[in-house]
Chain A
């Protein structure tokens, strides 16, 4: 995922390196803190956090109701939260409804539940098109929806973060939370899979 070999011929890499050295000299950043923050984001945060919420909602009706009524409270009751999830709203897929999340203005995303977003979520194509032609975009991304399924697009234009509660897969008969959570992908919780 990292390519140190391009470090020397990429002007942006040189610029980033120069800026970091200036900021270190002036005491405005601490490289050890940068390392610690990167370690936290790359190793502690990820879709497994959000998957815990979904897996529990699939087996515990009272929790599911709580999650849909008060996403923030339900999330905090499981000790979850973290950066970029000040206020969580969970939206439910059903046989008749499919939800999908975007941020047309930048890249808003529930870091604490899903980790940092993949490049496609921040791409101009995804940001521009999902609010206009979601059925076509989802189809291109491998999520083909029947014509009678209503699509609801959620544009995270403020500080509310949205998470999709996908339908429980029909072929799963376990109630083991870990096994269920392993079926919950990041794409299901963004809504680009079903």
Chain B
């Protein structure tokens, strides 16, 4: 989805403040612990990330990092029927449950033992190949940042194959495919700059350039 989380290249957030803290208060620690240990059948990293991305953009921007984890945990638990959507509201006596864009599907597969997969076919691209990134705008989960869509780059590293987040987040199968680090020039991305940016892109988003 073209969501608020896809921040690469956005303006307006000001200087980087050197906040070195991991947890700002004890409730953030407990939220991290809950997310790491809650028994939620069939959930996976891709579903988790998507549940953060789907939070109301205003809530996303106004919450701390673990505030987003708290809100998205409530969302996942309610979507899986493990709590009612107003259970927490009832207990705290306030109607402020997180609002969210509906998912296009929850994972149905068994939890996988890690995201890497072995494929029989060889990678389609090799290091050094010129490639073009498809200008895709899927409504569901994707790890393809907006700022590289439609851009040309060069394969810098051929990684192993990994499950495809776009399907894995939604119960549409693993569809594992090779992953590539693709190097883009700042000039191609932003019209200026002398640096390069490497982004990991799954194979089916790439075409020969």
Contact = CB atoms under 8 A, between A and B. Distances in A.
Interface of A: 1-4, 6-7, 10-23, 26-30, 33-35, 37-38, 41, 86-87, 89, 104-107, 115-120, 122-129, 131-135, 137, 140-141, 150-160
B16 interface: yes
Contact of A158 (B7, B30, B88, B202): B202
Given A87-B160, A128-B11, A1 B200 contact: no
B96 interface: yes
Contacts of A30: 37
A2 B24 CA distance: 6
Nearest to A152: B196
Interface of B: 5-34, 36-40, 45, 49, 52, 61, 64-65, 67, 70, 73-74, 77, 82-83, 87-88, 91-92, 94, 96, 114-116, 143-145, 147, 157, 159-160, 162, 165, 179, 181, 183, 186, 189-190, 193-202
Given A2-B26, A87-B160, A104-B6, A132 B193 contact: yes
Contacts, number: 229
B8 A10 contact: no
Given A16-B31, A120-B18, A158-B201, 18 more contacts: A7-B27, A19-B73, A22-B83, A23-B38, A23-B83, A27-B39, A34-B30, A89-B181, A106-B49, A119-B20, A123-B17, A125-B13, A125-B16, A128-B11, A152-B183, A155-B145, A155-B197, A157-B143
A130 B186 CA distance: 11
Contact of A152 (B8, B52, B195): B195
A18 B27 contact: no
B7 A37 contact: no
A104 B21 CA distance: 19
B153 to A, nearest CB: 12
The 9 A-B pairs of least Cβ separation, nearest first, read A34-B33, A104-B8, A158-B200, A119-B19, A151-B195, A18-B91, A13-B27, A16-B27, A125-B13
- SS class of chain B's interface: helix, strand, loop or mixed? mixed
Given A14-B92, A123-B16, A160 B33 contact: no
B88 A127 contact: no
B16 A126 contact: yes
A119 B82 contact: no
B34 A89 contact: no
B92 A150 contact: no
B8 A156 contact: no
B26 A7 contact: yes
B37 A154 contact: no
Contacts of A133: 193
A148 B145 CA distance: 28
Nearest to B97: A15
B16 A29 contact: no
Given A18-B92, A125-B16, A157 B199 contact: yes
